[in-house]
Amino acid sequence: MVAVVTVLGVDACAAGWVGVELRDGRFAGARLSSDLRSLLREAPVTGGGGDFGVVAVDMPLGLLDTGWRQADTEAAALLGRLRSSVFRVPPHAVWQEEEYEAANRRCRELTGTGLSRQSWGLAVKLREANGCLADAGSDRLFEVHPEVSFRALAGGQSLPHRKKSWAGQMARRSLLEAAGVVIPDGLGDVGRVAPDDVLDAAAAAWSAHRIALRRARSLPDPPQRDARGRQVAIWY
């Protein structure tokens, strides 16, 4: 019997986290949770039948002790005019600070450059996601960046319209549909999530499917490693 490949793509949203599930590359459901651990407890895991349990998350996973991550530098270069959707992730110690001012000082000490308030705005969910990485293991959780995934869906071309625009959302939905990921109009509770977050979760799921099939690529290639030897990379 051929195993069914079941994966989950996850994006942070105002209500918490939104997930899109694919089975054999096709839409199989969407879910919403206020915390990532609850979402992952419901996610598919590798079972006796050989199913995959890959979860791809649009959030930095893996923090270095010193310096900047190569993944962010390479993703920004790849995206060109959409490079502002990528932010550089500073070392682990920066995210241990409780307040922005202290984090900004620590970032300057360790990298020579300050930390933007926009980047610091992800601190709570970044810590949450990396806590889940420690629990679930890097063989199940993978970092993705939706714009990198959409670029791959578009044949290596960055999209001309930003994801919050009507044209941008229609283009991204069309790319997903061409790849077999058809998102229905009715999504229940998930329907109250911002459209770009649902599309980002779907793009993450598309990349998760590629990871499960061992067809994905990474930035950088090969990945960097953190102090524990875990991969630090953006997959697509």
| Per-residue pLDDT, 134 | 82
Instruction: Kindly state whether residue 189 falls inside one of the protein's structural domains.
Output: yes
Instruction: Kindly state whether residue 12 falls inside one of the protein's structural domains.
Output: yes
Question: Total structural domains in the chain?
Answer: 1
Instruction: Kindly state whether residue 108 falls inside one of the protein's structural domains.
Output: no
Asked if residue 40 has pLDDT above 60, the reply is: yes
Q: Is the peptide bond before 91 cis (omega within 30 degrees of 0)?
A: no
Instruction: Kindly state whether residue 1 falls inside one of the protein's structural domains.
Output: no
Read off the pLDDT band of 137 (50, 70, 90). Answer: low
Domain range for 169 is 6-62+131-219
Instruction: Report d(CA 224, CA 85) in Å as an integer.
Output: 21
> Phi and psi of 141, rounded to 5°?
-95, 130
Q: What is each CA distance from 169 to 30, 36, 194, 203, 232, in whole angstroms?
A: 18, 25, 11, 12, 29
Cα atoms found within 13 Å of the Cα of residue 142, Cβ hemisphere only: 31
Instruction: Kindly state whether residue 47 falls inside one of the protein's structural domains.
Output: yes
pLDDT (tens digit, 9 = 90+) per residue, 91-123?
999 999 999 999 999 999 999 999 999 999 999
pTM above 0.95, yes or no: no
Instruction: Report d(CA 75, CA 90) in Å as an integer.
Output: 15
Q: Domain of 185: which CATH number?
A: 3.30.420
